[in-house]
Structure 1
Amino acid sequence: MPLALLALAVSAFGIGTTEFVMMGLLPEVADDLGTSVPTAGHLVSAYAIGVVVGAPLLTAVGSRIPRKRMLLLLMALFTVGNLASAVAPGFGWLLGGRFLAGLPHGAFFGVGAVVAARLVPEGRRARAVATMFLGLTVANVVGVPAATLLGQHLGWRATFLVVAAIGLCALAALARLVPRLPLDAHQGLGRELRALGDRQVLLGLLTAVFGFAGVFAVYSYLSSMTTEVMGFGESAVTPVLALFGIGMTLGALAAGPLTDRALRPTLYGSLGALAVVLAVFPFAVQVRWAAPVLVVLLGGVGFMTTTPLQMLVMNKAKDAPTLASASNHSAFNLANAGGAWLGGAAIAAGWGWTSPAPVGAALAVVGLAVAVTAGLLDRERTPGTSRVVARADARPAREDAPVDAR
């Protein structure tokens, strides 16, 4: 694998750390800024809103910017957003800093996925994209717990200073290791918008919204389930969250080669497995030895959906994949917000701490139904050519422009 993928993974590590660390620092932030924990929770929403807004907006604005330069600009904006968060004098300023840090998230992963796919031979492109996403999963295993502990002992501002330092390291790695990719002759906003309007792209985004919402219906309340249902103490919360991150990492490692081999079957299988895991979760999670296993499985099958979904929208957007790829991360963050809201509504209705799991299972089934419908429609569009369709699904559109590795 090219070293440029390492630079993309380091960048993803920083982005993943700042995205999820706020959940563990809400009490410290609320106490320091004189607000309540529920109000401080708006800082999580501010980042997610930044992702949803920034993914299509910044990708559109940068549609004529060479991709390496775009990656550098986005990582610079990410670093500035975390510095602004670290020095924020009050809650409103911190809210703005979180929104600013979230703006480049989706656009970076969208552009980064296209770059990663271009750096390797045709049959290894899904593995290259999954390698970039490994930085995101490792952040949940190492970055988030370490950054949370740092914030608890040295103050939450120290956490964002460290994340900003990671951003600077990522900038240096991107500048040194990522080759200059020539601006495609067809690259432009009009073509990207037309590609985004493709029926298969839209169905892929809809699959992400419903399928991934099933994961976050449970993950958002995993800390409370650890103490209220699994029977563990508060000290077990961090290890349980790390187990979820380990599952994510294993899922990402498996998703790459499986997606290169058979995209749609990997997507169907991961969504079906997610529905099953969520369906048995309320029962198995009450058994102490089974609960950690279910957490790992939930992270694994949940994150296995991300690589095939990313490759699907890139493939179907053909030679203008950047906006569709970035919009996929807007879809994932809508799934995060929607899944958390629906899971919280089930708990608020008095259905119990495990009630988000069957809600998540239903969402995963809806996502699977959308994915299967999209697959059937794709075959109908090209009748009698199922082998050709399957092969097209297994690789992105060819880009023949040479890479300048200088």
Structure 2
Amino acid sequence: MPRRDTARTMLGASGLTVLGSISPFLLGAQAVLMQRDLGFGPARLGVAVSVFFGVAALSTILGVGVFTRLGRRVGLVVAGGLVAVGGLLVATVVQGWWALVLAMAVLGMGNAACQTTANAAVATALPVHRRGLGFGIKQSAVPVAIMFGGLAVPTTTVLLGWRSTFIIIAVVGLAVALVGATRPARRVGTTVRPVGALQPDRAPRGPLLLCGAAVAFASAPANFLGSYLASWAHEVGLTVEEAGVLLAVGSASSVLMRIATGHRADRRHGANLPVVAGMILGGAVCLALLGAVPQTWAVIVFGLLAFAVGWSWPGLILYAVARLGRDAPTQASSVIQAGAFLGGATGPASLGLVVSLLGFSVAWYVASASFVVSALLIMAARRGFRADLETRPPAQPFGYGGGRGEPRYTTRPPDAPM
């Protein structure tokens, strides 16, 4: 693939991810205005966000097979169309909380379609030696969406009102659908198998589900960090403006780390899951220290490190699982995406309840424990993947276990004795 096409695919997947994921961040950034106009409180705001992520998780689980069969062209049409419909509903029809929840459900389905289509493009269309970087850039779109959501308030919202921001994403969604409708059809989600192979070579279900559960346990505290760090920083002494700057700088550090870890992953042969587990454990330490040291300097230092280390693993784990997904990288990465949506749906709401009942310090400890559980699940999944490679080697030699110039381990031929 020419470099121009590689860059276009990476940027396209990243833009599609921003489009799908930005709606709840727009909702959060404009919450004060929307609550006043639509007549609902903070609790219902959390429910609306949870509906978005919950519907996205369910849609990902149920729809990945359909998207794999229909291909990226149809994926773009469906993704852009759902975002356009959801955005227009919020901008023109929504006059109360129930209508907002319905619109967020549509936007959640749009997010699932955007993420599945973008994952398929990175996992199958990019050259093998660029997929780590591709997933890093794609997943960097999530903290970028957080920044865009915040920047919308002093710009578009002030000038044109909060409904205008959803008109913009509806227009962009319509443009994406038109691009999909006019581009040549391509099928995605499979890799070329040797002649004579009768069945697709699938990733082992057990380790894959363990990874999905691990991502759910990690996404819950990570989304809690993004949702509540500014509030905690203000409580320990930062001004509202300083807390906002902390959140923006933290998001930017996460973007840079996601890209850097993806680039480094392309330079080694596997050993990505231990790196993910190490990053998540680092995040666990940072969250525990946020609760243990309620001081301004600690919130700044450990808050930034929590973003830079503890929330920089999404692209790397997607790359690792897509690489281990054999003939079905799209389905494998969709399990991870569903786990991320599930964590996004449950994390801020459940940990926010802990804050209201027991305080921030306890909530940070609970979030840290969730990170630890995630790291343990990832290492258990790694053992399962390695055992599967040894007992069920792929048709083509597969390098794993790390190594720069050459892999530390290579699978044996399928017909070789064990």
Matched, 1:362 2:369: yes
Q: CA deviation at 1:313?
A: 2.8
In structure 2, give the amino acid aligned to 1:360.
Answer: A
Matched residue, 1:209: 216
Which piece of structure 1 moves more, 266-275 or 255-264?
255-264
After TM superposition, give the deviation of residue 224 of structure 1 in Å: 1.8
Normalised by the length of structure 2, the TM-score is: 0.82
The residue that corresponds to 1:344 in the other structure is 352
Shift of 1:175: 6.8
- Is it true that 1:269 corresponds to 2:274 in the alignment? no
1:265-322 Cα offsets, whole Å, 9 max, x none, are 321221121122112222455134x433332222222332212221233233321232
Confirm whether residue 309 of structure 1 aligns to residue 320 of structure 2: no
CA distance in 1, matches of 2:258, 2:21: 14
Q: Does 1:245 align with 2:251?
A: yes
Corresponding residue for 2:414? Answer: none
- Aligned to 2:77, which of 68, 72, 75? 72
Q: Contact 1:25/1:152 (CA < 8 Å) preserved in 2? A: no
Verify the 8 A CA contact 1:255 1:266 in the aligned structure 2: no
For residues 143-222 of structure 1, what are the structure 2 equivalents within 5 Å?
143-149=148-154, 150-151=156-157, 154-171=160-177, 180-182=185-187, 195=202, 198-222=205-229
Q: In structure 1, what residue type is equivalent to 2:362?
A: S
Instruction: Give 1:217 shift.
Output: 3.4
Q: 1:197 to 1:80 in 2, by over 3 A?
A: farther
- Map of 1:228 onto structure 2: 235
CA distance in 2, matches of 1:35, 1:342: 20
Matched, 1:287 2:296: yes
Question: 1-side partners of 2:179 and 2:139: how far apart?
Answer: 16
Q: State the Cα distance separating 1:195 from its structure 2 match.
A: 4.6
Q: Per the alignment, do residues 383 and 245 of structure 1 end up closer, same or farther by CA in structure 2, a change over 3 Å counting? A: same
Counterpart residue identity of residue 324, structure 2: K
How big is each residue's C-alpha offset from its partner over 1:206-244, in whole Å with a ceiling of 9 and x where there is no partner?
110112223233333223212212x12223343232123
Structure 1, 212-221 or 265-274: larger mean CA deviation = 212-221
Looking at structure 2, the residues matched to 152 and 223 of structure 1 have their Cα atoms a distance apart, in angstroms, of 22
Q: Distance in 1 between matches of 2:264 and 2:190?
A: 32
CA contact (8 A) 1:134 1:249 kept: yes
Residues 373 and 327 of structure 1, relative CA distance in 2, 3 Å threshold? closer
User: Residues 110 and 390 of structure 1: is their aligned pair in 2 closer, same or farther, counting only changes over 3 Å?
Assistant: farther
- Identify unmatched segments of 5+ residues in structure 1: 395-406
**Aligned residues between the structures:** 384
User: Is residue 52 from structure 1 mapped to residue 60 from structure 2 by the alignment?
Assistant: no
Equivalent position SS for 1:349: helix
Separation (CA, whole Å) in 1 of partners of 2:123 and 2:68: 18
Contact 1:217 1:342 in 2 (8 A): no
* Residue among 397, 401, 410 paired with 1:390: 401
Q: Counterpart of 2:309 in 1: which secondary structure?
A: helix
* Aligned equivalent of 1:15, options 17, 20, 35: 20
Cα distance 1:252–1:185, how it changes in 2: closer, same or farther (>3 A)?
A: closer
Comparing 255-264 with 360-369, greater Cα deviation is found at: 255-264
CA change 1:170–1:125 in 2 (3 A) is: same
**Residue 93 of structure 2 aligns to a residue in which SS?**
coil
Q: What CA deviation, in whole Å up to 9, does each residue of 1:50-83 have, x standing for no partner?
A: 2122212232333320223312321221122111
> Structure 1 pair 31/62, CA: closer, same or farther in 2 (3 Å)?
same
Percent identity over the alignment is 23
Cα distance, 1:19 vs structure 2: 2.8
Distance verdict in 2 for CA 1:175–1:236, change over 3 Å: farther
**Amino acid of the structure 1 residue aligned with 2:347:** G
AA aligned opposite 1:349: L
Give the Cα separation in 2 of the matches to 1:287 and 1:372.
Answer: 34
For 2:145, the aligned partner's letter is: A
Secondary structure at 2:238's aligned position in 1?
A: coil
SS of residue matched to 2:33: helix
For 2:178 and 2:293, locate their aligned partners in 1 and report how far apart those are by CA, in whole Å. Answer: 46
Q: Does 1:125 align with 2:136?
A: no
1:376 aligned to which of 380, 383, 386: 383
Contact 1:17 1:147 in 2 (8 A): no
Is the alpha carbon distance of 1:62 and 1:291 closer, same or farther for their aligned partners in structure 2, counting shifts above 3 Å?
Answer: same
Is 1:130–1:253's contact at 8 Å kept on the other side of the alignment? yes
How far apart are the structure 2 equivalents of 1:195 and 1:105? 25
* Cα distance in 2 for residues equivalent to 1:36 and 1:80: 25
